Chains A and B, each alone.
Chain A
Amino acid sequence: MIRLDAVGKTYRTRRGDLVRAVEDVTLHVQNNEFVTLVGPSGCGKSTLLKLVAGLTPATRGTITIRDEPVREPFGDVGFVFQQPVLLPWRSVLDNVLFSVEMLGLEPRQYRKPALDLLELTGLSGFETKYPRELSGGMQQRVAICRALLPDPSLLLMDEPFGALDAMTREEMSLELLRIWEERRKTILFVTHSIPEAILLADRVVVMTPRPGRVARILDVHLPRPRTIETEFDPRFKAASDEVRALIFTRRAER
């Protein structure tokens, strides 16, 4: 579905210095595949998501989605960030409806689907609350509902659970998997956490920093649906050791 071929991105900073954020990234993502991008800070993971969404043009290489070259934002995408970035003046329900409003669709026709999504994420009864009345984990669920409501074929998630505490984080990962089993989508998921990357993914893209390059792409052969037990599978341990080795040996070389 998504094809990145030899993609590079060079920024010019305000002082006029050139910064190579991403270099020579080639990645082909299948329809409904769950791909995680893992690596240390500064490896251009977030830049990569912005490139795929068409928010910023690639300096080199080509990006296509369903054989259409990406040159500008195309709408058929859901974004979830590290911060929920909800609108504080809108109720939970109206925050979920924000995405269809911005797409220029009729929000009234999406009320029922929005309520269904809130139910799916365990937020029934909170429709009329303001975001500040919700915990961090619940706010992030609202952000996920907002991204899912227009039913995009592509979901881009930039460390979506990075600001949550460890327990909520694990719970949310499993919940995301549950939602994904019900509503299949292509997901590109950026994270710092190696266990999270492996637990979620069909394939893990391990990246190295400055400039961000793909060190290796690992297939994760763990049965689905995955549960909390998955982490005790010896293959889970093997995969996380491999990712860890890739990240840390690279670091030692420098």
Chain B
Amino acid sequence: MIRRRVVGEWLVPAVTLVGALLVWEAATRVFHVPRFVMPAPSAIVVEGWDWRYRFLGHAWVTLYETLGGFALSIAVGVPLAVLIVYSPVLRSALYPLIVLAQSVPKIAIAPVLLLVLGYGAIPKVVVAFLVAFFPVVVDTATGLAATPPELLDLSRSYRASAFKTFVKVRLPMAMPFMFAGAKVAITLAVIGAVVGEFVGSDKGLGYVILSATSYWKTELAFSSMILLSLMAILLFGAVSLVERLVCPWLAPAGDE
């Protein structure tokens, strides 16, 4: 049984991926596709390997911009959600603003932000934050509102304070929702950081892609893209890991 599961979950996708890469490699060689139109996977790997030390610096920049934006989206999004859930007045005041902020295309705000905040890391962090905070607010608010009314009645019948009920009941009850929001937010934060870098920067993986394409170095752009995807996957995995540590009760009991 275990062997069958390994075949289904790992072997089949791995073979598919390797197969696709081989077809890609063969096609670029057989049809003599120019490197700047579609580089072969081998060329992308070689170029990426050449850049390994320089990539380290650029990846670090994009990583801290992403993490900064993500941290800000949690730090702002969670309290905002709490205010929305606990105060009907603030709810009607803030919700339309939040939806409005969400509906403005972030890529359109980015140039303005750079104009106002300069060309350092801060505008990138702010763009990442703007892209990421919406799912955090919405999911946290949904989670806090999803507490069964019986539990609130129960807490009230014991004369527990609203704060105690929040800490012991509502917040942990909302945890799975908050992590769902955080997982979306972390991947969006990567996109936000890259968008910020596209608009104006001299470092970061987004900057590498932009400058590589302007020099027709498509294989460099590709390797940078792959690095970005890897970063997003790793960050997503890290949030999932934290979720499993913080919410162990969500793990399936035993081995199905």
Contact = CB atoms under 8 A, between A and B. Distances in A.
Given A75-B159, A103-B159, A85 B172 contact: no
Interface string B160-172: 1000110011001
Given A89-B249, A132-B249, A55 B156 contact: yes
A81 B253 contact: no
B178 to A, nearest CB: 13
Given A85-B154, A89-B247, A133-B253, A102 B160 contact: yes
A79 B154 contact: yes
Contact of B157 (A55, A83, A132): A55
Query: Secondary structure of the B side of the interface?
Result: helix
Contacts of A130: 249, 253
B234 to A, nearest CB: 27
A88 B143 CA distance: 14
Contacts of A133: 253
Nearest to B148: A85
A205 to B, nearest CB: 21
Interface in A107-163: 130, 132-133
B158 A85 contact: no
Nearest to B250: A88
Interface in B111-155: 148, 150-151, 153-155
A53 interface: yes
B148 A88 contact: no
Contact of A102 (B164, B173, B247, B253): B164
Contact of A87 (B159, B172, B253): B172
Nearest to B151: A85
A206 to B, nearest CB: 25
A50 interface: yes
A73 interface: yes
B213 to A, nearest CB: 48
A73 B157 contact: yes
A146 to B, nearest CB: 9
A102 B156 CA distance: 9
A217 interface: no
A73 B159 CA distance: 6
A101 B165 CA distance: 11
Contact of B158 (A50, A89, A103): A103
A186 interface: no
B168 to A, nearest CB: 7
Contacts of A102: 154-155, 158, 160, 164-165, 168
